[in-house]
Structure 1
């Protein structure tokens, strides 16, 4: 009860002036990322879509805004104690950058599963990294133990007023650049970004819709709003690792409940498809959490509006992005793999190649293995991977192979 009363008090006394003060502190520290109009995503969603590329921010994500706003206001005594936080990566780099710039020691607890790119980038900014647990919640619990043991100042990744005010400065830039914006899509992990963006937007232009976007597999804020209080998910397993949070913050819950117009959830394949489209159409790289807003564009309950989709971050390692692209290509029918048993005699491989060429399928991988076990020692197994146009193209290829007497097994 005391916590709810405190949150209501914070809500009542937080004004747009607080966001402008945060923006003042961030002058000369962050990049004011410019809006990019997207013809592709506009046509896809039947709205006029603009991208807010926070993946091009210093440290590669919006998180620098909140981290710097918080740390810059610490007292000299607090700065001497040093700061600690837990993060899946982007907040870690924001805290590390801000602490290094302000001459403060920083300790960052990160899940042991954090992509190596984010770990190394955090270390490169002078922070001490402690790897612990399988996800954010494990790392967070460990960071609290270390804070208690060493007396560090805690810089929460989302459930902190000064952090969310810093994140809200992104909304100031959006409204300044696109004064007649109708809606803003903002990803949600623990809710700090959405809280700040929604607060700033509603205090300046209350008619603008602010819609949060969560992965279906980690929709902690949607669950909290449905329950009427913060609740803990059983799991948060998603390719959007930056939003893999089981429990929303109590403060961010209060802000989202007060200012958000709604939440859209997106599937894993929708996230991967959005990532692939962003790379193909805009030549921009983002992480899974970074494209949540793009994944939600086709689910908007309106058409013909000016919509800003925030790309929250771009810190993704090559192996991860390669795996996500491969899965998205398979899901779209852009890659097709099949296995077939062939008579072990000359000309069979050439005949399969001819059929594929006639169907405009480009072979990208081929395995002709005489040692694989088949139903006859006179047969060999051929496994072929081809580039295709879509699922209908795959159906035509299968039909052509079957017409020529080949009984194939689809691998993917």
Structure 2
């Protein structure tokens, strides 16, 4: 630790890096009843902490080494750090990146003047190819984590945290991919304030460090999850493994939904969208505080990066509520009789419905796929019990990955033998009770044969409804629609409906 303490104190990072703020997350702090501080490494010039270690390593190269150039392998953020450092030091850089790297990171690296080679599906594949090119082209390899100078550069984050917050800190949470960041932070913190816990956080699908520490040796994963691409590492470094095993107090594993929820938490407090790897520490801090039943403690979480493709926000927004256990995904069986649909909706009460999928299947029973906003997991259990008592068998799919990823988008299909069906598209005001107003206003002899709704975050909801309305009821139907007050469109002749649903 003394060796790393000296390396960190003399690290050359501030030619390119800034001392990032240590900001309070007020909303998150209030919700989990602890003082949560965010170390804002997403505010670095490359929107990630990685430039610290890269520059510290490259600034110590000889003039001859700089003249030949450097090479690195990276899923994105280290690549940007190397590219910026090369630009600052006036040397050429080649970056080998996995083909799965988000485009925003590829473009950011290219904008710094580095040459990019896309190779392999993971960091490890890119790493092996980079080592081949290092020997062939006589370049200097800049390792993203398993290098003492890189580790020392990342350790300046720990130095800044303790300088910025001299009061008691219960724990510092850091994401772990290869282990460079947490190794540097732990080396400094344990040398200066050993009473502070240093806790690592990994995705359940990329837990190489956690498995390695449990096994007492470096474990190589066969596959890694790519959602948090910044920490998708198959095998941790030798030096980082040694430091983590000696200095890190614990490693917490979090799933995709928890990461998405953490991204939302940080956005609500800072209006910044972290990348999945960048939000790992926040997800871990929340899980740890709940598990340990902490109250009034100071928890520091390193927000390590914000390089994310905009298109991923669609998925993240959808999964964030699930990560907080504030959305229940249920499959409910109801009798295929007029009024049963309305009865089911009334049992949901004033809970906000996030999604509703239903299609007529047969004359006896209907299956409804529904998302409902809840306060916590216990409310989900209570709702399932209530529906069961009213003879509406219910399955809880909240933790069913296939249901959340795929089945929710496939509910529907043709309904053979269905008579007198007409299809309407509505815009409902997005407020509690809007659906019940619709159901209570319609003729109770009309059977709802199709229903689809998803909350899109707007002030109005988009709803598609199929109803069985006999020809002699067409005039009452028009009166009902005109009196309802919602905008609507008749979609009965829509070719998409005819091809896939009618």
TM-score tier (shorter): 0.7 to 0.9
3-state DSSP of counterpart to 2:278: helix
Q: Point out where structure 1 has 5 or more consecutive residues left out of the alignment.
A: 1-10, 339-350
Q: How far has the Cα of 1:273 moved from its partner? A: 1.0
Q: How far has the Cα of 1:386 moved from its partner? A: 8.2
> Out of 317, 324, 331, which is 1:325 matched to?
317
Does the 8 A contact of 1:287 with 1:313 survive in 2? yes
Aligned equivalent of 1:373 = 414
> Out of 229, 254, 266, which is 2:217 matched to?
229
Over 3 Å counting, the alpha-carbon distance change for 1:398 and 1:86 in structure 2 is: farther
Q: How far has the Cα of 1:18 moved from its partner? A: 1.1
> Out of 238, 242, 247, which is 1:250 matched to?
238
Matched, 1:305 2:297: yes
Give me the whole-angstrom Cα distance separating, in 1, the residues matched to 2:419 and 2:237.
63
- Cα-to-partner distance string for 1:51-110 (whole Å, 9 max, x where unaligned): 111011110000000000000000011111110010000000000000110011100000
> Out of 196, 218, 232, which is 2:206 matched to?
218
Does the 8 A contact of 2:13 with 2:53 survive in 1? no
3-state DSSP of counterpart to 2:299: strand
* TM-score, normalised via structure 1 length: 0.82
Q: How far has the Cα of 1:40 moved from its partner? A: 2.0
Matched, 1:16 2:5: yes
Give me the whole-angstrom Cα distance separating, in 1, the residues matched to 2:127 and 2:26.
40
Give me the whole-angstrom Cα distance separating, in 1, the residues matched to 2:51 and 2:205.
26
Aligned equivalent of 1:279 = 267
Over 3 Å counting, the alpha-carbon distance change for 1:17 and 1:285 in structure 2 is: same
Q: How far has the Cα of 1:307 moved from its partner? A: 1.2
Does the 8 A contact of 1:334 with 1:387 survive in 2? no
Give me the whole-angstrom Cα distance separating, in 2, the residues matched to 1:127 and 1:251.
28
**Which one has a larger percent helix, Structure 1 or Structure 2?**
1
- Cα-to-partner distance string for 1:165-222 (whole Å, 9 max, x where unaligned): 0000001110001012231101100000000000011111111111111111101100
Give me the whole-angstrom Cα distance separating, in 1, the residues matched to 2:96 and 2:448.
55
3-state DSSP of counterpart to 1:58: coil
Aligned equivalent of 1:344 = none
3-state DSSP of counterpart to 2:205: helix
Over 3 Å counting, the alpha-carbon distance change for 1:143 and 1:401 in structure 2 is: farther
Q: How far has the Cα of 1:298 moved from its partner? A: 2.6
Aligned equivalent of 1:4 = none
Aligned equivalent of 1:75 = 62
Aligned equivalent of 1:205 = 193
Structure with greater contact order relative to length (CA < 8 Å, sep ≥ 6): 1
Greater Rg over alpha carbons, structure: 2
Give me the whole-angstrom Cα distance separating, in 1, the residues matched to 2:170 and 2:120.
41
Aligned equivalent of 2:82 = 95
Does the 8 A contact of 1:336 with 1:394 survive in 2? no
Give me the whole-angstrom Cα distance separating, in 2, the residues matched to 1:207 and 1:236.
33
Give me the whole-angstrom Cα distance separating, in 2, the residues matched to 1:157 and 1:89.
10
Give me the whole-angstrom Cα distance separating, in 1, the residues matched to 2:438 and 2:193.
55
Q: How far has the Cα of 1:236 moved from its partner? A: 0.9
Q: How far has the Cα of 1:158 moved from its partner? A: 0.5
> Out of 78, 92, 111, which is 1:124 matched to?
111
